[in-house]
Structure 1
Amino acid sequence: MPKKFIKRYLPSPAKVQAMKSLGFLGDILNEPNLWHINRHSVARAFLIGVFFCFIPMPFQMIAAAFFAIWFNANLPLSVALVWISNPITMPPMFYFNYKVGAWALNRPVLDFDFQLSLPWISERLLDIGIPLYLGSLIIATISACAAYLVIQFLWRRKIRSEWQTRRRARKELRRARHDQAS
């Protein structure tokens, strides 16, 4: 995973630290490990961000930020990845999570017409909520672990490729010097 690509799209630590809305975090934002871009911090950021993007809860970004701080993951990347679930992607994601939860609980998938009313929500909360959260936990765990492993694999592959390129360049340079000396 190229560092330059990630750095290009993430805000600088100074820009984030200057945000007045994050003032309550105090000196935590000055921790340099939260801003490092290396294989481990980026992989942990993907693990955290992808996990919380699949969990239907308010303030997903705050939860992702808390866990990024706790696990020394890249903070801005963890928070940004939560936006995989946005108002456009949430309905299909959470419906899929609900179907997975219903399957795991061996319950039939309910046909329902959503109504934004307190009686409907209180009546359907257990019927829909339990499969939704179980499915969300299953999908979040699988997706987060897969994202972590994919980032680790891609980063290592990129490093190996760069090493091989440098090794070939050194061999060519040695060969050229040897040819000049002869």
Structure 2
Amino acid sequence: MTASRIARRLLPSPETLEQTRGLKWLGQYLRDRPWLWVAHRRRVALGAALGLAVGVIPLPTQMLMAAAVAILFRANVAAAIAATWLTNPLTLVPIWGLAIFLGRQVLGVHGPISAPKELALDWADPGSWWHAISQWLSELGTPLLVGLPCAGVVLGATLYVVVYVGWWGVIRYERRRRLRERELRV
């Protein structure tokens, strides 16, 4: 089974999206623009890269932003949306560690990293959470703010190469397998 067939099986069709309540507009939009939905190696790799780059930056609407950026760059929208899922609470610490490292390199900051104090949330008062989180983030400082876009670019470019080369490897493997099968038949 080829990589594009695998991708087509995993991704819902625009018709399926049109039948899903709340996503009808996306299905109609994608049906009129098939280049945003095609399971093509370059478009899927670009969509995944853009989705991860957008997903690194902590926004409440990562998937919507990834879809908008994918539409802007004519990349695969489903791959962009799915790639935002790579940034989750389990991957937050390594991604932010990379972001702080890259931010310190860009800013030329040397020496030990001062760790912020523990994030203290008053669970009984959700209204105080935003202040506590913003104070904690401000203690992480400028290296994080500079490093997040840098980490997005680095991780996005890395994912582009991984998807592109991985897809190429699957295609090459399938061609060799078919050639071996033909040789055995003869």
TM-score in same-fold range (> 0.5)? yes
Q: In structure 1, what residue type is equivalent to 2:134? A: I
Tell me how far apart the structure 2 counterparts of residues 76 and 143 of structure 1 sit (CA, whole Å). 18
1:120 deviates by: 7.8
| Structure 1 residue corresponding to 2:115, chosen from 111, 117, 126 | 111
1:14–1:26 Cα change, 3 Å: closer
Q: Which has the larger radius of gyration?
A: 1
1:163–1:78 Cα change, 3 Å: same
| Structure 1 residue corresponding to 2:52, chosen from 36, 50, 56 | 50
1:18 deviates by: 3.1
TM-score w.r.t. the length of structure 1 is 0.77
Q: Do the aligned residues in 1 keep the contact of 2:30 with 2:36 (CA within 8 Å)?
A: yes
1:56 deviates by: 2.1
- What is the alpha-carbon root mean square deviation over aligned residues? 2.8
| CA offset digits 1:50-94 (Å, max 9, x no partner) | 212212223111110001112222212210110111234324422
In structure 2, the residue corresponding to 1:21 is in which secondary structure? coil
Structure 2: runs of 5+ lacking an equivalent = 121-128
1:153 deviates by: 1.4
1:159–1:28 Cα change, 3 Å: same
Percentage of matched positions with identical amino acids: 29
1:43 deviates by: 0.9
Q: Do the aligned residues in 2 keep the contact of 1:44 with 1:148 (CA within 8 Å)?
A: yes
Number of positions where the alignment pairs a residue of Structure 1 with one of Structure 2: 173
Structure 1: runs of 5+ lacking an equivalent = 177-182
Bigger shift: residues 157-166 or 87-96: 87-96
TM-score w.r.t. the length of structure 2 is 0.75
Q: In structure 2, what residue type is equivalent to 1:71? A: F
Q: In structure 2, what residue type is equivalent to 1:75? A: V
Q: In structure 1, what residue type is equivalent to 2:157? A: C
1:92–1:172 Cα change, 3 Å: closer
1:19 deviates by: 3.6
- The aligned residue for residue 78 of structure 2 is 76
Tell me how far apart the structure 2 counterparts of residues 42 and 68 of structure 1 sit (CA, whole Å). 10
